[in-house]
Amino acid sequence: MEKLSFKEKIVSRDNASKIVGRWQKANEKVVFTNGCFDIVHRGHVEYLSKAAEKGTRLLLGLNTDDSVSRIKGPTRPIVDEESRAIVLAALEFIDLIVFFNEDTPYELIKAVKPDVLVKGADYNIEDIVGYDVVTQRGGSVETITFVDGFSTTNIIDKIAQELKG
């Protein structure tokens, strides 16, 4: 298995498509998940680790700063996209990271054609963006339960409370 340095893991959509194709030709099972991952915390790490266990390669679709702001509001993200990508790329179980600027990763999923699509258990499987793309190719869509008590919003709220005194 080819091993990339952490900065080499951050690739364009086109390069990701080519790399995933090579992996799949080598009978590797490619897992895809996505998110904002603003202020990376234990819940994120455990979720991503569980996602990686669903196959042999993990591709992370990472929201750009613009898409995070549209989804989470004008004060987000706290951490810029390049910094979020570098921290996440340092996790050994993440094989590739691709930015997407759309509100959903649908076009990215169509481009990379993963074998397994993973999201949090707060989603109904049939409602997960990309369900149709992955299942039409014979892939699976799965959910993972989050670790209770860990969220970026909770961290931001705690910091705000501390600053208030």
Q: Distances from the Cα of 73 to the Cαs of 2, 19, 64, in angstroms?
A: 38, 33, 13
Q: Distances from the Cα of 54 to the Cαs of 5, 79, 116, in angstroms?
A: 22, 28, 7
Query: What is the model's pLDDT at position 135?
Result: 98
CATH of 7-164, one of 3.40.50.620, 3.40.50.1360, 3.40.80.10, 3.30.1330.40: 3.40.50.620
- For tokens 């690739």, the residue is 11
Whether omega before 77 lies within 30 degrees of 0, making that bond cis, reads: yes
Task: Give Cα 112 distance to the centre of its chain.
Answer: 13
Percent of the chain residues past pLDDT 90, beyond the cut:
81
Query: What is the model's pLDDT at position 79?
Result: 96
Q: Who has greater pLDDT, 127 or 158?
A: 127
Mean local confidence (pLDDT), 129-155? 90
Domain boundaries, the chain: 7-164
pLDDT digit string, tens, across residues 106-118: 999 999 999 999 9
Distance CA 118, CA 128 (A): 9
Distance CA 98, CA 12 (A): 6
pLDDT digit string, tens, across residues 7-26: 899 999 999 999 999 999 99
